[in-house]
Amino acid sequence: MEFDPVSVGVVGCGAISDVYFEAGERFDAIETVACADIDRERARAKADEHGVPRACGVDELFDDPAVEVAVVLTPPAVHAEVALDALRAGKHVYTEKPLAATREAGAEILETADAAGLRVGVAPDTVLGTGIQSCRDVVDDGTIGRPVGAVASWSSPGHERWHPNPDLYYETGGGPLFDMGPYYLTALVHLLGPVRSVAGATETPHDTREITSEPRHGETIDVEVPTHETGVVTFESGATGTLLTSFDVQASELSGFEVYGTEGTLSVTDPNEFDGAPRVHLREADGGEWRELPVERDHPGQGRGLGVVDMARALRTDWDHRTSGAVGYHVLDVMAGLRESAADAEYVDLSSTCERPEPLPDGFPEAR
């Protein structure tokens, strides 16, 4: 590695934090120097488990000069509040998806960072894995011809069936679109470029949901957001995409993700995975059979937390930041536009755009 590691402080020590602590252990580009949580004991436990030298309160982490990047893993509804506090304290910010619960909050994050000369990064980072990057190769080399459209579908009966604390999925900043939509929409931006306009329709069949997972089996929680969300997105290139995300589908046999071109169809890997799972399939217009494409890219050590490594390299070198705040905000704008369209029953032209990120070269990242 040709640069000193970037020092990271983790804010929010819930279940997802483990993968970020493990990223600090796997990758040379980052070093986790502190962690914080509103529950100090939880922060202390994670620090002990992962060998992090300091556990502290959130404000203490922001005041720590050893921390360069604050990794925000709080519930989505407070992503913006925590990210803004970190930026005002002079820290770069990498946040779990979505960037914020509203366009306005997302824009404030980017404006605050820009004014302070700081960088913002946003999950998901699964687009940096061999799966989506291999699909990107197929699109870029013209194998399927000119992209015409795409279909992306994700559904489940609801997180209250398995998650121990599912409340946040039904609160502001949640819902299936804001929870799972970023995986598909970020992948679509990498594959097809930015979006021009959207049309959405939503449904909320239940005002409350009953938790059937432990330890809160039998509790009832309120639903504040749509739970069945559909839409059409029109890309600046002219291609169109159809999106379905739902917490109200009991079972489905739909293929999850496909891109259609003038010369063939690409069955895209699950964008919630890194390594091409389940498979990348291609069928060309010559009447041949579906064939499985090898995932041949050399990406050592890939896994969640890779976006922080991407950001660290961008901070230290002239590396193209592929999980940037600009991409994260554009995805947020798409999701907010879909809900706005559903409420107003009309198409919404987006005010944002972003550069289509460059494909990832082989050999990234460097793992310990």
Residue 160: count other Cβ atoms within 10 Å of its Cβ: 22
Domains of the chain with bracketed CATH? 6-125+303-324 (3.40.50.720), 126-295+332-349 (3.30.360.10)
Q: Per mean pLDDT, which range of 22-36, 227-241, 262-276, 280-294 is the poorest? A: 280-294
**331-359 average pLDDT score:** 98
**44-62 average pLDDT score:** 98
**CA–CA separation, 168 and 96 (whole Å):** 14
Axis-axis angle for helices 325-344, 103-116 (nearest 10): 160
Q: What angle do CA 216, 222, 226 make, to 5 degrees?
A: 120
Residues 6+ apart with CB under 8 A from 95: 71, 72, 73, 79, 82, 83, 120, 121, 122, 123, 328
- Residue 3 pLDDT greater than 90, yes or no: no
Q: Per mean pLDDT, which range of 159-173, 279-293, 334-348 is the poorest? A: 279-293
Residue 96: count other Cβ atoms within 10 Å of its Cβ: 23
Residues 6+ apart with CB under 8 A from 243: 152, 153, 181, 184, 185, 229, 230, 231, 232, 233, 338
- Tell me how far the alpha carbon of residue 344 is from its chain's centroid: 27
Write down the pTM of the prediction.
Answer: 0.96
Q: What angle do CA 193, 248, 327 make, to 5 degrees?
A: 20
- Residue 1 pLDDT greater than 60, yes or no: no
**215-234 average pLDDT score:** 98
Give the amino acid at 263: E
